[in-house]
Structure 1
Amino acid sequence: MNAPSGIPRPRPPRRRPLRRALVAVVATLGLSAALATAATAPANASAPAPPSGWSQVFLDDFNGAAGSGVNTSDWQYDTGTSYPGGAANWGTGEVESMTSSTNNVALDGNGDLLITPRRDASGNWTSGRIETTRTDFQPPTGGKLRVEARIQMPNVTGDAAAGYWPAFWMLGAPFRGNYQNWPGVGELDIMENVNGLNKTWATMHCGTSPGGPCNETTGLGNSTACPNTTCQSGFHTYTTEWDRSVSPEAIRFYVDGVNYQTVTANQVDATTWANATNHGFFVILNVAMGGGFPGAFGGGPTGATDPGHPMVVDYVQVLQSGGSGGGTPPPGNRDAYSPIQAESYDGQSGIGTETTTDTGGGQDIGYIANGDWASYKGVNFGSTAATQFYARVASGAASGVSGLVQVRLDSPTSPPIGSFSVANTGGWQSWQTIPANIGPATGTHDVYLTFASGQPADFVNVNWFDFGH
């Protein structure tokens, strides 16, 4: 969610500089027609079938009993007024407290999700904010990613809508567990609306704040009216496509198939773009109340604001298309005995990525501290048991700071099959290959690298790992 010009988004000092920049999106043949059809479908319509050449990598149709919560295998609740250790009021000045209560976040029994702001007798606001458990949404090398949702904004306008701020958006995976590296890790606002205006905003955030190459805190954005019916009175389909099949890469934003904002890689410097895009993203749905963005359009909430109007979400769908190889292998296609690039994770918590100076170049994962983890799906050990683990690591940790690199199979909480300790190696880009014995592993497993330390400080970077007999 973007903060408007002139209203800074608080960001504490970063642990170490992150390097990557925000996301790209290009239209595909038939997109306009498909999304226009979806926009006029019934309120509880299912997500449209993927077009030819596309595969579905995530879907929630929000089917379930009326009054039940979301599927916590797919979604996690953000609660309170900030991330742990993050900027107050979610960094945007909003006034509500987010909850996991079905009073604020619930299914309606007809295939829709309702996120409903409430105000109590004392004037305190509550609302809901959920984000996908997955953080790996990104296109394959040379391919495309499409993220879309069919949404009716809160059906309230005028003075009664003052302060309403519904949004459907994405944040770069390195933000999770760090909460201090915005906007460098990238943000894509697929749909935002404030104060009941008949407009949808689409924005990319990246670079540094305030100012910087992405004009923060405003970002690189545009707005348009919703087609045919207003944003508040009807359902509309909001979409972003991130296209790596073109040069320069492009991120395009749509409402009902109408492209109204495009950001391309050549609009910013290469480092800014890389910092914001060379990693996965997670998806967020929320309704905020008040804050900087509504403040730029009249403010609120006020005594006239009418609580209880939900954002209604019919479905959220993520599709993938094409690719020329070089991305994350599909499950079952990772060879345990060839180097697995650490940055090719399928999921992570608390980890960032950065350019490495190690032999072979590319990237490593870093900013790793106690409790962080990364997962790698479908690692094939074969029928002869692996008994060795090798990892290429570097550390610039302070004296006395060290930790364990642990290997687990199929769950981040299963017992480690092996581990090794690492402390300062001479610098964050001073690399060593460290071996460890592991319990015998055969067959195909999801591999989790987990990290444990007695101190809260970062203690290791990892470039690649593999296994041996």
Structure 2
Amino acid sequence: MRDPSGIPRPRPLRRTLLAVVASLGLAAAAATAATAPASATAPAPPSGWNQVFLDDFDGAAGSGVNTSNWQYDTGTSYPGGAAGWGTGEVETMTSSPDNVSLDGNGNLLITPRRDASGAWTSGRIETTRTDFQPPAGGKLRVEARIQMPNVTGDAAAGYWPAFWMLGAPYRGNYQNWPSVGELDVMENVNGLNKTWATMHCGTNPGGPCNETTGIGNSTACPNSTCQSGFHTYTMEWDRSVSPEAIRFSVDGVTYQTVTANQVDATTWANATNHGFFVILNVAMGGGFPAAFGGGPTGATDPNHPMVVDYVQVLQSGGGGGTTPPPSGNRDAYGPIQAESYDGQSGVSTEATTDSGGGQDMGWIANGDWALYKGVDFGSSAATQFSARVASGAADGVSGLVEVRLDRRDNAPIGSFAVGNTGGWQSWRTVPANIGAVSGTHDVYLTFTSGQPSDFVNVNWFDFGH
């Protein structure tokens, strides 16, 4: 869905992929879900799976979404991002219940509207959480039961409903697509009886992931059309197999699989070594509809909602939960790899040339942060902090690397300033004093600067007495 260059991004699938048709073990349940009432609740997690997120969209008719789960995207772009949401869309997104509301029967409605002047509005929401990823050696399943806008033919020209995910480093940056990864669980265009599933990664245009098309495939909805009935759309990200695999299915039938060995190791790591957030939206117009006849036109019929029964995220293996509770699982006095965060906003990872190799955390700018759960300081208080940092920031661009405990809005216990070190891979270890701390805490690295530009990379950090 995203192209920071602002160039409309068509979605015809120009590469032929082998569709893998297999069962995810959900076929029977999904087939039932496709014909169940619109107010059906999310199915209970199968044995071995933990539910880490659920919204059943229960609430009064006309009310908005639960803002502890979701945030509204409004206007025609992210702040400072490409116009038309980077894809050439023509609608203005709003938080109005005319465009985004509950129906009172356990469903979310995202409804495109057209006013008397011909201007379009619609809705787009994304999860407040950005930490959805499988544990090491485990699996993540993201699914939603959705009826696409029930409109076809000329009346559907320009409709572009979607259920998809973006890599967490995109939030607050808006310039790093597609390297940070995009997983399109369901997309549809112009009322066609098809669902598309696509992974975007690498560089744009072209690159290892064939951008702007991505690595994708499509299939017809089973049993009933995508528009006339509910179907369950699922992404299962499997780190229990080698090579690592991301599978996409509709009603339990897998029709697209992307594996780590389809691209180079750096591209895969940059696209997957972080959390993701979930997006639901109905766009109007843009590159994808343009590839299938265009729209919206004068014949396009407004007011047909995408109806979402539920969204849930499940996790299997790795101890469950998207982040471990504070349990002393990290040693404050040994190097904590920056890229091993349990949650973050605005950052990404990349291969590093620093001693020891591996990855660093980069693209860090004002307001970004990273969370490290359960850091054990022991009973003898730590009073020092040091971090391995590098910067290729322009002259006059600098900022603070700050340490906060347990809450991101708590006051820093210490910080140091960093500016250009001679390049983004020119590393040095910078020490700082901190207020005495003992026991086990969640540690936040937060980053503050007076300029909007990226100002630091971090490879690792530790604490001392």
Does residue 1:313 correspond to 2:308, yes or no? yes
C-alpha separation in 1, matches of 2:288 and 2:190 = 9
- Offset of residue 248 of structure 1: 1.8
C-alpha separation in 1, matches of 2:141 and 2:347 = 24
Partner residue, 1:390: 386
Partner residue, 1:18: none
Q: Label 1:414 to 1:348 Cα distance change in 2 as closer, same or farther (>3 A).
A: same
C-alpha separation in 2, matches of 1:445 and 1:232 = 49
Does residue 1:141 correspond to 2:136, yes or no? yes
Residue of structure 1 aligned with 2:239, choices 240, 244, 261? 244
Does residue 1:447 correspond to 2:443, yes or no? yes
Partner residue, 1:272: 267
C-alpha separation in 2, matches of 1:307 and 1:294 = 15
> In 1, are the aligned partners of 2:330 and 2:336 still within 8 Å (CA)?
yes
Residue of structure 1 aligned with 2:115, choices 101, 106, 120? 120
State the aligned residue count.
451
- Offset of residue 328 of structure 1: 6.1
Does residue 1:460 correspond to 2:456, yes or no? yes
1:67 counterpart letter in structure 2: G
Residue of structure 2 aligned with 1:285, choices 280, 284, 292? 280
Partner residue, 2:370: 374
Q: What does residue range 10-159 of structure 1 map to in structure 2 within 5 Å?
A: 30-159=25-154
C-alpha separation in 1, matches of 2:365 and 2:418 = 12
SS in 2 for 1:166: strand
Report percent identity of matched pairs: 87
Larger displacement relative to structure 2 (423-432 or 235-244)? 423-432
Q: Label 1:44 to 1:385 Cα distance change in 2 as closer, same or farther (>3 A).
A: farther
> In 1, are the aligned partners of 2:9 and 2:286 still within 8 Å (CA)?
no
- In the alignment, structure 1 segments of 5+ residues that lack a partner are 11-24
Partner residue, 2:15: none
C-alpha separation in 1, matches of 2:370 and 2:416 = 16
- Offset of residue 412 of structure 1: 2.6
Partner residue, 2:16: none
Larger displacement relative to structure 2 (451-460 or 337-346)? 337-346
1:386 counterpart letter in structure 2: A
Q: Label 1:72 to 1:346 Cα distance change in 2 as closer, same or farther (>3 A).
A: farther
- Offset of residue 330 of structure 1: 4.3
Partner residue, 1:234: 229
C-alpha separation in 2, matches of 1:414 and 1:104 = 36
C-alpha separation in 2, matches of 1:320 and 1:345 = 18
Partner residue, 2:212: 217
Partner residue, 2:202: 207
C-alpha separation in 2, matches of 1:114 and 1:398 = 46
C-alpha separation in 2, matches of 1:123 and 1:42 = 34
RMSD: 2.4
Superposed CA deviations along residues 126-162 of structure 1, whole A, max 9, x for unmatched, are: 1111111222211112221111111111111222211
C-alpha separation in 2, matches of 1:318 and 1:122 = 40
Q: Label 1:353 to 1:121 Cα distance change in 2 as closer, same or farther (>3 A).
A: same
Does residue 1:365 correspond to 2:361, yes or no? yes
Q: Label 1:342 to 1:312 Cα distance change in 2 as closer, same or farther (>3 A).
A: same
SS in 2 for 1:146: strand
Residue of structure 2 aligned with 1:187, choices 182, 185, 197? 182
**TM-score calculated relative to the size of structure 1:** 0.90
SS in 2 for 1:46: coil
C-alpha separation in 1, matches of 2:460 and 2:47 = 35
- Offset of residue 170 of structure 1: 0.8
- Offset of residue 384 of structure 1: 4.5
**TM-score calculated relative to the size of structure 2:** 0.91
> In 1, are the aligned partners of 2:326 and 2:440 still within 8 Å (CA)?
no
1:184 counterpart letter in structure 2: S
C-alpha separation in 1, matches of 2:271 and 2:143 = 20
1:290 counterpart letter in structure 2: G
Does residue 1:428 correspond to 2:394, yes or no? no
> In 1, are the aligned partners of 2:24 and 2:252 still within 8 Å (CA)?
no
Q: Label 1:310 to 1:324 Cα distance change in 2 as closer, same or farther (>3 A).
A: closer
SS in 2 for 1:318: strand
Superposed CA deviations along residues 9-49 of structure 1, whole A, max 9, x for unmatched, are: 49xxxxxxxxxxxxxx9977623233333333321222111
Larger displacement relative to structure 2 (264-273 or 173-182)? 264-273
Larger displacement relative to structure 2 (98-107 or 452-461)? 452-461
C-alpha separation in 2, matches of 1:249 and 1:457 = 34
C-alpha separation in 1, matches of 2:110 and 2:377 = 44
- In the alignment, structure 2 segments of 5+ residues that lack a partner are 11-19
C-alpha separation in 2, matches of 1:168 and 1:128 = 12
- Offset of residue 311 of structure 1: 0.7
SS in 2 for 1:174: helix
SS in 2 for 1:259: strand
Q: Label 1:106 to 1:429 Cα distance change in 2 as closer, same or farther (>3 A).
A: same
Q: Label 1:385 to 1:108 Cα distance change in 2 as closer, same or farther (>3 A).
A: farther
Larger displacement relative to structure 2 (379-388 or 190-199)? 379-388
> In 2, are the aligned partners of 1:8 and 1:210 still within 8 Å (CA)?
no
- Offset of residue 443 of structure 1: 4.3
C-alpha separation in 2, matches of 1:382 and 1:38 = 51
